[in-house]
Structure 1
């Protein structure tokens, strides 16, 4: 586990979060009026969350967390970024949608939750969480430990295969999996500006221009096999594994084309490739 690198990533995320939210028009009003930032794929994987205790790990600035709360869930969001959690708390207050938010390294928070005997019906992770995990096996054990018997882990993520491709999506540029470390001097970029209206359902604003993150970032490459193995080793039972030939809100490489519903896919003259991954796993009642 590389908590030293987690701390560096925290600083990068603080700066990136400011840029990301600068492009999103009145999010509180959007949510207050019944808006949601959730895509159909995660809604289908989650199922009915009404009256469920939901833990949203790496919740970022809380938009999806509050969208889950709007569906009737009792939601707790955890993120390492101070800026993200401060914004999430403010968004909760201004929208009138209740949720609980904690600023913490998720590994520390999961350990503390186990000590408190705190449990959840659903643990949820989404869109870009996997590359920030320096120890995928400790992460899976922590999730299993806070799931109530019969509870489910639900995730939607950009396909690990994308990390192998170059910026044009044409060449294999990196190795696959193994927890391999990638370090970037420029840190986390302004992907909301890249995606535009696909990630700003409340309305797109020009916001920050030419954002450059002053902090570096460090990512970890995991394969689907390692992801599934970690969850199985933690005692969870795999129920759903899906691949999607498009990515929600993420133009993964140059040349992707925008599709209805905020999706991006390779152009027609390119092969169809897996761009997203959906998974659900359950904790047995006897555990």
Structure 2
């Protein structure tokens, strides 16, 4: 069931968090303009050759990855529910000189309108903490399939559901499968600052200042079987599913071992667990 009421709750929380996150990142337009990219090698590999392709980036946040995809030669459209994120993305596109189209909307009504208008894309992309904001994954995946061209691809780079059963200290706390949303009175956190600059590739500022989000939020946890099942039930053919024992950018627990390339893994003495996965599915 689509929970528009909780999506609206999240929009307000994301507005506050987005301002905070971008306050850490130095001269993002200059970084992109001078050849920089916020994409990691894993998603670049999954995206493949996209020059001249139409790419839809759902839950695009502030557009940094969207514009990095545009730099690979794609025609990009980014969609996000946050007003602050889309306003920032449009300004970042203008200031960097990188062309991208950004539309503010909850993704569910946006996809419905796109289907009604006959809009289709070569690639639908989402990444890094996107699926947990979707209240009805099966519905969303069916709509994603509907806006893909024949032969089009759904590409997803995401944090692993197994990593979400632990609290910030790396102690098991949450069920792997939960029938109800998780509600957080503390809202969306300053995970950019908490990751010690690993998510501020253009250069980090003020990452140690405390932040309290006054606006609560709700997340929708999904298991691996729930994710893959939604992809298959939407009529897409699963081509790639890869698990990774490290996390790009995001530092999930306080005690983590830092790897080269802005990555984190479990510290010495703790079992290595999958922290993210990559998925590619194709519409026949």
Q: Does the pair score TM above 0.5?
A: yes
Aligned length: 283
Structure 2 spans left out of the alignment, 5+ residues: none
Alpha-carbon distance, 1:176 to partner: 1.6
Q: Tell me the TM-score normalized by structure 1.
A: 0.97
Q: Secondary structure at the match of 1:197?
A: coil
Task: Answer yes or no: is the 8 Å Cα contact 1:19–1:208 preserved in 2.
Answer: no
Cross-structure match for 1:14: 15
Instruction: Kindly report which structure 2 residues correspond to 1:43-192, keeping only aligned pairs within 5 A, or say none.
Output: 43-171=44-172, 173-192=173-192
Please list the CA deviations of residues 3-34 of structure 1 after superposition, one character each: whole Å capped at 9, or x if unmatched: 00000000000000000000000000000111
Q: Secondary structure at the match of 2:124?
A: strand
Structure 1 spans left out of the alignment, 5+ residues: none
Cross-structure match for 1:210: 210
Compared with structure 1, are the counterparts of its residues 178 and 281 closer, same or farther at alpha carbon in structure 2 (3 Å cutoff)? farther
Q: Secondary structure at the match of 1:151?
A: strand
Task: Answer yes or no: is the 8 Å Cα contact 1:160–1:223 preserved in 2.
Answer: yes
Task: Answer yes or no: is the 8 Å Cα contact 2:197–2:207 preserved in 1.
Answer: no
Q: Does 1:260 align with 2:239?
A: no
Please list the CA deviations of residues 71-95 of structure 1 after superposition, one character each: whole Å capped at 9, or x if unmatched: 1000000000000000000000000
CA distance in 2, matches of 1:180, 1:243: 26
Task: Answer yes or no: is the 8 Å Cα contact 2:51–2:72 preserved in 1.
Answer: yes
Task: Answer yes or no: is the 8 Å Cα contact 1:177–1:226 preserved in 2.
Answer: no
CA distance in 2, matches of 1:5, 1:169: 27
CA distance in 2, matches of 1:90, 1:10: 19
Task: Answer yes or no: is the 8 Å Cα contact 1:76–1:99 preserved in 2.
Answer: yes
Task: Answer yes or no: is the 8 Å Cα contact 1:19–1:207 preserved in 2.
Answer: no
Instruction: Kindly report which structure 2 residues correspond to 1:237-252, keeping only aligned pairs within 5 A, or say none.
Output: 237-252=237-252
Task: Answer yes or no: is the 8 Å Cα contact 1:187–1:217 preserved in 2.
Answer: yes
CA distance in 2, matches of 1:248, 1:208: 20
Q: Secondary structure at the match of 1:215?
A: coil
CA distance in 1, matches of 2:194, 2:178: 29
Alpha-carbon distance, 1:170 to partner: 2.9
CA distance in 1, matches of 2:241, 2:86: 30
Measured on the aligned residues, the alpha-carbon RMSD in Å equals: 1.0
Runs of 4+ in 1 over 6 A off after TM superposition: none
CA distance in 1, matches of 2:162, 2:69: 28
CA distance in 1, matches of 2:66, 2:215: 26
CA distance in 1, matches of 2:214, 2:199: 23
CA distance in 2, matches of 1:161, 1:108: 30
CA distance in 1, matches of 2:67, 2:228: 28
Compared with structure 1, are the counterparts of its residues 44 and 150 closer, same or farther at alpha carbon in structure 2 (3 Å cutoff)? same
CA distance in 2, matches of 1:124, 1:271: 31
Alpha-carbon distance, 1:140 to partner: 0.4
Task: Answer yes or no: is the 8 Å Cα contact 1:26–1:202 preserved in 2.
Answer: yes
Q: Tell me the TM-score normalized by structure 2.
A: 0.98
Alpha-carbon distance, 1:178 to partner: 4.6
Cross-structure match for 2:199: 199
